[in-house]
């Protein structure tokens, strides 16, 4: 059983790698972005709050975000399957809170993966991305086109561009990554669980490197 953290700028491929970890090895993704977007679609209070931040590319406040993750890490099925945290933690306060949640639940992270790519690459990936409105599968107009225009290969539902994949929100997300999230790379390096991966390569090559040395 494997417990991972996926760190990386917007568009680097965290969600794509999470999909592979789940479909090939049953490792459950815990993606804060995916959970927030589901709350927005369901028009919950949390969704309404999160939308005010997400649409502008800003971080949702730590309090609600940390509680949301703590709840999931307590679930017996997550403890059993292992997990890949995608998009959490995203600042030092969240990383410290995660350490406490892990201790409380007698869990430990095997590896923190830093997926690395230049801004030019991630902007190209973000500007062509489309996602399935039903199952969440991730596509790209040129890098990973669906078989039929704007329809999901898995469930035939409509593909849409995310509301925060607009130039202004993308700029803000990249800025926030550098300012708030990049420092957590050093945090996990100091704990000797960090692995840096060149994420500019093909998704399968990146995936193979994520798995290298892990006991599945």
Q: Which residue's entry shows tokens 């998009």?
A: 87
Q: Are 65 and 95 in contact (CB under 8 A)?
A: no
Q: Which residue's entry shows tokens 């993308």?
A: 170
Size of the site for ligand AP5 (CB under 6 A): 35
Among 14, 159, 197, 210, binds ligand AP5 (CB under 6 A): 14
The answer to the question of residue 15 lying near ligand AP5 (CB under 6 A) is yes
Chain-centroid distance of CA 33 in Å reads: 7
Catalytic residue among 14, 37, 51, 125: 14
The answer to the question of residue 32 lying near ligand AP5 (CB under 6 A) is yes
Q: How far apart are the first and last CA of the chain?
A: 6
The answer to the question of residue 138 lying near ligand AP5 (CB under 6 A) is yes
The answer to the question of residue 16 lying near ligand AP5 (CB under 6 A) is yes
Pattern 174-193, ligand AP5, x by CB under 6 A = --------------------
Q: Are 131 and 139 in contact (CB under 8 A)?
A: yes
Among 5, 30, 60, 210, binds ligand AP5 (CB under 6 A): 60
d(CA 94, CA 100): 10
């Amino acid at each position: 059983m494997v417990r991972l953290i996926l760190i990386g700028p917007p568009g680097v491929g965290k969600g794509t790698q999470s999909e592979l970890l789940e479909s090939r090895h049953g490792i459950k993704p815990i993606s804060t972005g995916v959970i927030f977007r589901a709350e927005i679609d369901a028009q919950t209070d949390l969704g309404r709050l999160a939308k005010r931040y997400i649409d502008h590319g800003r971080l949702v406040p730590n309090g609600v975000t940390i509680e949301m993750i703590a709840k999931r890490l307590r679930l017996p099925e997550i403890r059993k399957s292992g997990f890949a945290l995608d998009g959490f933690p995203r600042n030092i306060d969240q990383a410290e809170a995660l350490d406490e949640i892990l201790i409380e639940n007698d869990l430990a992270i095997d590896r923190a993966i830093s997926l690395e790519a230049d801004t030019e690459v991630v902007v190209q990936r973000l500007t062509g991305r489309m996602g399935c409105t039903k199952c969440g599968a991730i596509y790209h107009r040129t890098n990973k086109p669906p078989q039929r225009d704007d329809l999901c290969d898995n469930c035939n539902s409509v593909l849409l561009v995310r509301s925060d994949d607009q130039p202004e929100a993308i700029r803000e997300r990249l800025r926030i990554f550098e300012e708030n999230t990049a420092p957590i790379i050093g945090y996990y390096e100091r704990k000797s669980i960090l692995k840096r991966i060149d994420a500019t390569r093909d998704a399968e090559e990146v995936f193979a490197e994520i798995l290298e040395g892990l006991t599945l």
